[in-house]
Amino acid sequence: MEKFANLTPKEIVAYLDEYIIGQNEAKKVVAIALRNRYRRLKLPKEIQDEIMPKNILMMGSTGVGKTEIARRMAKIMGLPFIKVEASKYTEVGFVGRDVESMVRDLVIASINLVKEEYRLKNAEDIEKYVLDKIVQKLIPPLPKGASEQKIEEYEKTASKMKMRVEKGEMDSLKIEIETPKRSLEIDDSNMPAEFIKVQETIAKVFVTSKENPRKEVTIKEAKEILKIEASEALLDMESIKQEGLKRAESSGIIFIDEIDKVAVSSKSQGRQDPSKEGVQRDLLPIVEGSVVNTKYGSIKTDHILFIAAGAFSLSKPSDLIAELQGRFPLRVELDSLDEEALYKILTQTKNSILRQYEALLGVEEVTLKFDEEAIRALAYYSQKANEKTEDIGARRLHTVVEQVLEDISFKAEKYQGEVVSITKELVKEKLEEIVANVDMARYIL
């Protein structure tokens, strides 16, 4: 991920353009926010502490690209990143996940990110460890006091065996190895800080009280099991945890989707859900900056970047509590998708849904060919379905394309070795009646 750390805002937008059509303002705001993460870390420590992240609120109907922008952000950053849904959290005192658990999830994601970087840096050592362990199982060690000739012969045999194992020639052969101890994993996302260490102590008792179980596995399976053992043996896990905690604190990003689901609309009648406003009030200190205890240590949230997103179809941003609104100073509204935008999503995005289906059916030796007019028709009927039923944006393309290709996909063996053309007439035949009938469209599409 290091190669992405120094991307300029223009380069970030160019990357996002490969996957997301339009939404230039949202891409620009996000790109600047990402670049500012890099800029801040290059400054002296005393200035770093003063520069707070400018949190972002993205507004727009479902399927216009809010979540996709977040998903692609995770792909291009060497920064700790998680996506959560606000609707999954409850006020403290209610049954469910409390909002502090999102910070704990970020720490875990950050540690996993650092661990993977360390694994890549130490890939050669890990590979050597695995090969040596397997060869030791395949060739009995020499007795003490063996002659130099025997030692030389042993080393030649071991070298040849190592090459065969490395090439995969021995993958089907079975050997007996010790499998790693399984730690007692308990979800501590809602556990009070004072109980986290108690839980870890109990888990250690369970783990250390048992010997490593021995198991007969193929060499192919052994390679994967021994990689885990090698990582534990060769990597400094304590340093990895501390680095992960540090990165989460200084450059972590939390994307909170469905923030509108915890807004309390002023238009709604009757009794309000007391948990909604409670979630906002619990979220406020985390976004403002507070200390959250995790099993890896405490973390300050002052410099975590929060990006919230919501459709705001039944509420509006002003329905959030005023203090929380103030913590999201940057606001961007995403455009609804028209027919032309849907057409571009089908034709111009990298790994578009059409390319995905071409690849999937290619496995069955079926060659799909989409006529230009057919693609235009897919965009047209998707837009009509969005107008007549709920507007779900680009997600409608998935149901529409699936409806057109369903029979071909089901009977793929019938078309093996053939080129199957998707024409405008076929699209019309499959979709026109459904889209015309609102009730049917609501049920099928």
pLDDT, residue 222, reads 78
> Predicted confidence band at 439 (pLDDT cuts at 50, 70, 90)?
low
CB of 369 closer than 8 Å to CB of 419: yes
pLDDT in tens, 70-104: 888 877 777 889 999 888 887 665 656 788 899 99
Which ranges of 252-321 does DSSP label H, i.e. alpha helix? 274-288
> Predicted confidence band at 1 (pLDDT cuts at 50, 70, 90)?
very low
CA distance 36 to 307: 14
116 or 228, which is more confident? 116
- Calculate the CA 327 to chain-centre distance: 25
pLDDT in tens, 196-209: 555 555 555 555 54
CA distance 319 to 315: 6
Tell me yes or no: is domain 339-434 CATH 1.10.8.60: yes
> Predicted confidence band at 272 (pLDDT cuts at 50, 70, 90)?
low
Which ranges of 139-273 does DSSP label H, i.e. alpha helix? 148-167, 193-208, 219-234, 237-251
Handedness of CA 183, 186, 190, 191 (dihedral sign): negative
- Report the run of H or E that residue 254 belongs to, with start and end: strand 253-257
CA distance 423 to 372: 8
Biggest alpha carbon–alpha carbon distance for the chain: 91
Give me the residue spans of the domains in the chain.
2-114+243-333, 133-234, 339-434
CB of 131 closer than 8 Å to CB of 161: no
CB of 351 closer than 8 Å to CB of 366: no
> Predicted confidence band at 191 (pLDDT cuts at 50, 70, 90)?
low
CB of 71 closer than 8 Å to CB of 244: no
**pLDDT (average), residues 391-414:** 89
Question: Average pLDDT over the chain, rounded to whole?
Answer: 82
**pLDDT (average), residues 151-159:** 81
Asked whether the domain spanning 339-434 has the same topology as the one spanning 2-114+243-333, the reply is no
pLDDT, residue 271, reads 47
Q: Are strands 330-333 and 367-370 parallel, antiparallel or unpaired?
A: unpaired
pLDDT, residue 155, reads 81
293 or 203, which is more confident? 293
Does the pLDDT value for residue 45 go beyond 70?
A: yes
2-114+243-333 to CATH, choices 3.40.640.10, 3.40.50.300, 3.40.50.1980, 3.40.50.720: 3.40.50.300
Q: Residue 54 corresponds to which tokens in the numbers above?
A: 């400018």
What is residue 177's three-state secondary structure?
strand
> What separation in angstroms does the CA of 17 have from each of 60, 199, 398?
18, 46, 20
- DSSP structural state of residue 95: S
What is residue 336's three-state secondary structure?
coil
**pLDDT (average), residues 315-344:** 90
**pLDDT (average), residues 331-354:** 90
436 or 103, which is more confident? 103
Residues shown for the chain: 445
> Predicted confidence band at 356 (pLDDT cuts at 50, 70, 90)?
very high
pLDDT in tens, 213-248: 777 778 787 788 888 778 777 778 888 899 999 999
Listed as own residue / partner, the contacts of 385-388 with beta carbons closer than 8 Å and 24 or more positions apart are: 385/435, 385/441, 385/445, 386/337, 388/435, 388/438, 388/441
CA distance 265 to 209: 55
Give residue 206's identity as a one-letter amino acid code: F
